[in-house]
A and B are shown apart, each in its own frame.
Chain A
Amino acid sequence: MTINSVFLQLLTGLQLGAIYALIALGLTLIFGTLGVVNFAHGALYMLAAYCAVIIAGKMGFLAAIVLVPIMLFVVGIALERGLIRYFYNRPHVDQILVTFGLAIVVEEVVKWIFGANNIPFKLPAWGNGVAFLHEYIPFLEGFVVFPKWRLILVAVSLLTVFALFALLQFTRFGLIVRAGMREPEMLRFLGVDITKRFAIVFGLGALIAGIAGVFGGPITQVSPGVGMNLLVPSFLVVVIGGMGSLAGALIAALMLGMALAFTAEIASLQQIIIYLIAVVVLLGRPRGLLGKKGVME
């Protein structure tokens, strides 16, 4: 392998990992705070992608970037208040059944309205085309290009990760949520309405799915089944990273992205590689890479 192809595969891995990370981040945030396994998270991504393609078509791409995450935040809050909160004290199996059921309903409704086919998602002019990487990176030989949009996706993922980390680590809201993850009952005894904060967290998880839908939609397709297709690897990312661990999800997303990129030339291996990694990691570390004791056991 030449330095060029290794570098391109690294970038591809990074980009694949970025989209898994965005979806897995929302999943693991919701699981870590609320203890809910949200199988409807893929459907939220799909919904975001449809909203994005429609809004981008009518009002321009920038409008979609601003509006879709806000819309998904509202959808997330409504979902939590209207349905999910009744399942906090129910077994994980019940939570999986109800969220999975919801995902199927949303998928069918979208199919009914927009049809089963992929809707073409046109990139904005500023994100279209390729970046000439050899002009910026000295060690590359000759002519090396990479789709601009995929680089933007990586950058957006990084920004989202840092923003979420900063929110949880450096704000009072973050302190309350982190404390609430560990000792929800004690916070109530201290007069904190932790349930209200948790609803906002669910909204934030949905908001991140919104960001993923806007920036991922042009790459992954906009079709009714796209959410479910992404949910499986994203859920694996959460499990490999350790249920509820944000840092673990990031590492796992990167691992899976890289594994897929570097097995691209061996199709049969690429199809099973992520499951293979899941098996190997979970055999060695049943709680996942950074999973905590007592979570989902």
Chain B
Amino acid sequence: MSVTTAEAAARESAKPQDAPAYFECRDVHAYYGESYIVQGVSFEVKENEIVALLGRNGAGKTSTLRTIARASEPHVTSGEIWLDGQAIHTRKAHEAARTGIQLVPEDRRIIPGVTVEENLILAQVSEPKGWSLERIYEAFPRLAERRRQEASTMSGGEQQMLAVARALARDLKLLLLDEPYEGLAPQIVREIERIMMEVKKLGITTIIVEQNAIAALELADSAIILDMGQVAFRGSAKDVLDNPQLRQEYLAI
């Protein structure tokens, strides 16, 4: 759908007074139906930075990622989201994806009934495209072997691999990873960890949500701790690891 002039005007007027960071949430409030989940979240992420978004169950981590990806639920009632000078809060999910946001959702959301390759092709229906299929298959030989297999019949680890590969098939500015290690066997976790380290080397700006805070902090440069839908702490990964009180209070580690 083409952008109407009214929408363009709204985007223009949505420009903030002071220049936003590379990625920034400014006092974002969002609801799941009637329940108030994201209660005024503000934080900045620098280009190429990897941030671990931590907190207890129900702290609003997944909701924050879904809000950034502009899912229809939770719906934003106020606040601004900026990526590389572009307003995200005025966009729909598919438009946000076209500005370079890629959410690798919790439970991976591999498209059932179609093959591995078709999952990747679907990631390249709209511009801008990222890695070519050749490059993806080179980096993930396991997916190359299974390219004709129905994707949802693969193991959890392989599906996670595909979910990450599918994001790389798009031209990325911000990668949102929701629980990449969830429900995977320990040796698979190590394999996914290796892939994550490769992703880290690519220098893609990333926000990672993970129950396993230690694993997330190993990857991350810095950390945000959410509590009751608000940012309770923002600092370096080391700050969190070195602060037993913080770990005890918000992460139970």
Contact = CB atoms under 8 A, between A and B. Distances in A.
Given A178-B114, A183-B111, A189 B122 contact: no
Interface in A194-238: 194-196
A186 B105 CA distance: 8
A189 B114 contact: no
Interface in B125-166: 125-127, 166
A284 interface: no
A175 B127 CA distance: 17
A217 to B, nearest CB: 35
Residue of A189, A192, A195 with most chain B CB atoms under a 10 A cut-off = A189
Residue of A178, A185, A191 with most chain B CB atoms under a 10 A cut-off = A191
Give chain A's interface secondary structure class.
helix
B1 A191 contact: no
B196 interface: no
- State which size class the interface on A falls in: 10 to 19
B111 A185 contact: no
Contacts of A196: 1
B69 interface: yes
A190 B166 CA distance: 8
Nearest to B108: A186
Interface of A: 172, 175-176, 178-179, 182-183, 185-196
Contact of A189 (B1, B103, B112): B103
B123 A190 contact: yes
A193 B1 CA distance: 8
A128 to B, nearest CB: 45
Given A175-B118, A193-B94, A196-B1, A183 B112 contact: yes
B114 A191 contact: no
B174 to A, nearest CB: 12
Contacts of A178: 113-114
Contacts of B97: 188-191
A186 B125 contact: no
Which 7 interchain pairs have the tightest Cβ spacing? A191-B97, A191-B126, A188-B93, A186-B109, A188-B94, A179-B111, A183-B111
A188 B92 contact: yes
A191 B102 CA distance: 9
Given A178-B114, A179-B113, A191-B127, 20 more contacts: A172-B125, A175-B118, A175-B122, A182-B112, A183-B109, A185-B71, A185-B93, A186-B111, A187-B94, A188-B71, A188-B92, A188-B97, A189-B93, A189-B94, A189-B102, A189-B103, A190-B122, A190-B125, A190-B170, A192-B94
